[in-house]
Amino acid sequence: MSDESGLGITNFLDIDDLDAAGVEQVLDRAEALKSGADQTQLSQKTLGMLFEKPSTRTRISFETGMTKLGGHAIFLGPEDIQLGHGEPLKDTARAASRYVDGIMARLFSHEDIETIAEYSDVPVINGLTDDAHPCQTLADLLTIREHFDDDVNVAWVGDGNNVGQSFAIGCALAGIDLSIATPPAYTMDETVIERAKELGGDFTVTTDPKAAIEDVDVVYTDVWVSMGQENQREEKLAAFDGFQLNEELLAGTDAKVMHCLPAHRGEEITDAVVESDRAIVWDQAENRLHAQNALLVELLGQ
Ligand code: CP
Ligand code: NVA
Question: Which residues are the active-site residues?
Answer: 106, 133, 136, 222, 260, 288
* Alpha carbon distance 43, 1 (integer Å): 22
Q: Give the pocket of ligand 2 (CB within 6 Å).
A: 128, 161-163, 222-223, 226-227, 260
Atom of ligand 2 nearest to the CA of 161: 1
Residue 302: its pLDDT value, please? 66
Kindly report the protein residue whose alpha carbon is nearest to atom 6 of ligand 1: 55
How many angstroms does the Cα of residue 301 sit away from the middle of ligand 2?
29
Residues in the chain, pLDDT under 50: 2
129 lines ligand 1 (CB under 6 A): no
Kindly report the protein residue whose alpha carbon is nearest to atom 4 of ligand 1: 57
How many angstroms does the Cα of residue 163 sit away from the middle of ligand 2?
7
* Residues recorded for the chain: 302
CA separation, residue 275 to residues 22, 125, 268 (Å): 34, 32, 14
Kindly report the protein residue whose alpha carbon is nearest to atom 7 of ligand 1: 56
Q: Which ligand is nearest to the CA of 140?
A: 1
How many angstroms does the Cα of residue 98 sit away from the middle of ligand 2?
30
Residues of each annotated binding site for carbamoyl phosphate: 55-58, 82, 106, 133-136, 260-261, 288
Q: Which ligand is nearest to the CA of 56?
A: 1
* Alpha carbon distance 135, 292 (integer Å): 7
Residue 2: its pLDDT value, please? 47
Atom of ligand 1 nearest to the CA of 128: 3
Per DSSP (E only), the strands in the chain are: 46-51, 72-76, 102-106, 124-126, 153-157, 177-181, 203-206, 218-221, 256-259
Q: What is the CA radius of gyration of the chain?
A: 19
Q: Residue 63 CB: number of other CB atoms within 10 A?
A: 17
Residue 202: its pLDDT value, please? 86
**For residues 258 and 264, is the Cβ–Cβ distance under 8 A?**
no
**For residues 40 and 70, is the Cβ–Cβ distance under 8 A?**
yes
* Alpha carbon distance 131, 235 (integer Å): 20
How many angstroms does the Cα of residue 212 sit away from the middle of ligand 2?
22
Ligand 1: which of 259, 261, 284, 286 to mutate, most ligand atoms within 8 Å of CB?
Answer: 261
How many angstroms does the Cα of residue 53 sit away from the middle of ligand 1?
10
Residue 150: its pLDDT value, please? 85
